[in-house]
Structure 1
Amino acid sequence: MGGRDVVGAVRFRRIGSPVVTRRIAVLTAGVVLLVLFGVLGTTLPVPYVAQVPGPTYNTLGDIDGDPIISIEGRDRNEVEGNLNLTTVGVSRGGLSLVQAVRGWFDDEVSVVPEESVYPPDRSPEETREANRAAFLTSEQAAETVALGRLGYPVKVVVQGVSEDSPSEGALEEGDALEAVDGVPTPDTEALDEVLGSIPGGSTVTVSYTRQGEPGTATITTGSAEDRGGSLLGITILEQPSAPFDVDIQVEDVGGPSAGLMLTLGILDLVGEDDLTGGAVIAGTGTINADGDVGAIGGIPLKMVAAREIGAELFLVPAGNCAEAAAAPDPGFPLARVATLDDALEALADFEAGRTPETC
């Protein structure tokens, strides 16, 4: 019995036996599948994109020698320090399965559904245009809030002069309209009323203020065919009018989240107070005409971007505080801001060595 057991065992393991052949086949199949899954994992696209910390821009500084905030009609304040707006970068094209999985385990990457960044009902170009339009709106809101904070009066201000407009060469962006044919135009309602009473094709005298200096323009109006009366061929907005012009230039940035930092940048450059005390301040948040600061997306990634530039304080919209507090410690305090007043108070506290209200 013992000898037969040994002989049987030897025969069971001999080369070419069915069991050995099956084992090799299983191992071979496993290796092939692993290779196949590995190849598929690196090439198979999934409907997700990666968001990463984007560049930051010092609103008090410049990009390639051109100021982010230009002031025409007066000198800018001599300022030190930084007021950096922060951004989020987005990968172009879909991720592979492996890239998506790797991103889910990386604190400095956020993997999100592609449709949350690129809505399916819009082309990529339409999405970029919408994001850019939102940024331009935030620029306008920042200027309005900052100049209002500085006490400049609200007037009817020219925002643009259309091509082949009756006002082309006569009025400019930033002009505050004071009167038409001697009739005061303190608001858009008054301007509409006076133009509605003048037949199209009439020659009118428009009084305006440009960078604090009064002027007049003689304009032959166009016809407002839909409602009758005249038109000047301009876009207008009621906003504070200052004796200087503010121009903001930040290319390749979209969305409304720069509003707060642009507002602070304008205030630091033309206001009475030094807002940074030479410190590196970063932050984010939308702003509306009432000075309310709104929540944004990607706050943990923006905190990473701020850490990389050596930020000493980060201004966090109140609506993002829970998310910001749950993120890995960035190494600097987080100041909770719900309004422009909150942001200014936080900056004053920080400069004075006090701890701002935190998240």
Structure 2
Amino acid sequence: MLHSDRFHAEKRLQAQALLAPGELWVIAARESKERPEPALKLLADVNVTWDSLFLLSRDDAAAIVGRFDADAVPDGWRVRPYDADLVGVLNEELNTFQPQRVLVNISETDPLCDGLTVGLYRRLQGWFAPHDLHSAEHLLGQLRSVKTPAEQQALREAVDVAEAHLEALRHALRTGWTAPDVVKFMHEQCAAVEGEPSWGWNSCPNVHIGPQARPSHALSADTQPLAPGMLLHIDYGVRLPHGYCSDIQRTYYLPRHGEGIPSEVQQAFGACWQAIEEGANTLRPGVPGWQVDAAARAKLVSLGYPEYQHALGHGLGRATHDGGTLLGPRWPRYGAAVEGQVRVGEVYTLELGSFVEGYGFVGLEEDVVVQENGLTWLSQRQNEVRLLAPR
């Protein structure tokens, strides 16, 4: 498994290449274990206690931190420890950097680019006066979404592990299992690899058994036992110790004695598969996110199924929803996130589903990385409903 230091060094160099001449990016943090700064996790595996400033330009990187945090700052940063007050050290650094434009992590639209609290923002305004503070969203959004080679490899590892866990589940499932039984099994799989569920122990995986279950982002307490004639749908991912995670959905069917897969289930699965295929064929560099969603949405509706009430896909990385361009409809709730253009190196989910009356929910989700001429599937695509053997 890749070591996290490699990711941080790659991301720091990637950020510096994205900065324009004269720009200074300021990442401010304090008590970061309790109030993490999302951008700091990308660039340095360090928790700080006192007020701290990480300063990055095209050619230089400096960390102004409390003296007792100094030894924790990784290689690649010029460490400037302070005792009583950081302002004197900051003024020295500003004389060195001579910034023309100061960028800070504020955003009205992307929570992962909005790392500053109001209080710390006000302190920065005083420390950096007379410089105006500008949003770093244009830089940070691209930095988060475009994955380096090491990040892509880490994401593939997380996908491979999740698929192995799902295959183990398929062979372990028994008639009579409930959603909590499935959750328990998957949590044991996570613990065995020293990982954690991608969106938390209290939220992941999402398991839906039978015709009464409804998709949710919470752990299901439904005690409906799995029985012949039911669909089982699971939305699952694992975050590995290096910090990168996966997010995939799979659909299974437990047949009645002597039965195959019902035609209604086959048709719904086929429609979902074709809609994802349409989205995948549209996912190309330079295409705005909303157009990718529109292609998949139109295909599903043309096949006689209702629109899904969410985005087709989101960025995937250290966070399950990793910011950047969203593959979603032009709904007010998504704002400008769907207007961004797809870039080479971005990693997305492609996900949608539909209910099948009397059987349950068919849901598919795959993870892909954008290439110059299309995409590469990180997950082993589910091409058919997977049968469970009655036990």
- Shorter-chain TM-score: which interval? under 0.3
Higher fraction of strand: 1
TM-score by length of 1: 0.22
User: What TM-score does the superposition give when structure 2 sets the normalisation length?
Assistant: 0.20
**Larger Rg computed on CA atoms:** 1
